[in-house]
Amino acid sequence: MQIRAILTIKGDVQEAGYRVIIQKTALKMGFTGNAENLKNGDVKVVCECEEDQLDKFIEAITVRNDFISVENIEKKIEKATGEFESFDIAIGDMAFEMFQGYATAGKYFNWLGQKVDGVGKEVKVVGQKVDVVGQKVDNVGEKVDNLTVHTDDHFNKLDEKYGIVSETLISMNKEQTKTREELTRAVDSLNTLVNSVNILIKEHIEKEK
């Protein structure tokens, strides 16, 4: 059975493109009617539909995200009149609609700015972590270098007395040097990865613009 529903939607529901979401949902479900911003901050929806579809529609337009927060939907049921041909956005006076448009744009730009700033902070943190890893590798390198200097002296003396034992210890010292080189290469690879992430972030920001 066809009914007419008058919905009063309360919450943070203006200046965020919410009427467009309502319109797209209504058209997809085959509803007719309109959605209108009220000057008290509510959104009013007048729609005609099959009775068993109304609750699904209300559930679909109960939106909560970064821009919209539906707190409550009051409904009033009447007899359908068949006066609507489609589902439209009801336009108020031009000054009110222009203010709504500017406010909506401002809200989205502010959100985008916060997201970009957050990305920048995350990249900066990654850079700091890479620097810390680099410092640790440098410290390891210094210790290995010092160890190399001291052990080389001892190995030379041992070589005179112990032959094969000395060769084994020198081989171990070379392995330590190899480990330091591998750590350095790992840090270089991490730096390359961070640079690649920075490039991808910049490309994403440019596309969003």
Considering 25, 60, 92, which residue would you say is the last residue of a domain? 92
The answer on 38 and 117 residing in a single domain is: no
The pLDDT tens digits along the chain (209 residues) read: 999 999 999 999 998 899 999 999 999 999 999 999 999 999 999 999 999 999 999 999 999 998 999 999 999 999 999 999 999 999 877 666 776 666 677 666 666 666 656 655 665 665 666 566 556 546 655 654 555 555 555 545 545 544 544 454 455 555 555 555 665 565 565 556 555 555 655 555 556 55
The answer on 204 and 154 residing in a single domain is: yes
**d(Cα 164, Cα 178) in Å, to the nearest integer?**
21
Count other Cβ atoms within 10 Å, centred on residue 46: 19
Backbone angles phi, psi at 81, to 5 degrees: -110, -20
**d(Cα 20, Cα 11) in Å, to the nearest integer?**
16
pLDDT, residue 132, reads 60
The answer on 41 and 6 residing in a single domain is: yes
The answer on 179 and 121 residing in a single domain is: yes
The answer on 137 and 164 residing in a single domain is: yes
The answer on 114 and 86 residing in a single domain is: no
Closest alpha carbon to 77 in 57, 56, 48, 35: 48
Asked whether 54 and 5 are in contact (CB, 8 A), the reply is yes
pLDDT, residue 92, reads 75
The answer on 115 and 202 residing in a single domain is: yes
- Position 132: which residue type? V
The answer on 172 and 117 residing in a single domain is: yes
Backbone angles phi, psi at 15, to 5 degrees: 60, 35
- Helix, strand or coil, per DSSP, at residue 67: coil
**d(Cα 42, Cα 19) in Å, to the nearest integer?**
11
The answer on 72 and 15 residing in a single domain is: yes
The answer on 77 and 116 residing in a single domain is: no
The answer on 126 and 67 residing in a single domain is: no
Number of domains in the chain: 2
**d(Cα 148, Cα 141) in Å, to the nearest integer?**
10
Residue 10 in any domain: the answer is yes
Q: What is the CATH number of the domain that holds 17?
A: 3.30.70.100
Tokens (6 digits) for 77 = 């049921």
Tokens (6 digits) for 18 = 């919410």
The answer on 82 and 125 residing in a single domain is: no
Looking at 50-163, list the stretches that DSSP marks H as alpha helix, in order from N- to C-terminal side.
Answer: 54-60, 94-162
Structural domain including 27 reads 2-92
Residue 113 in any domain: the answer is yes
Q: Is the pTM of this model over 0.85?
A: no
Catalytic residues: 19, 37
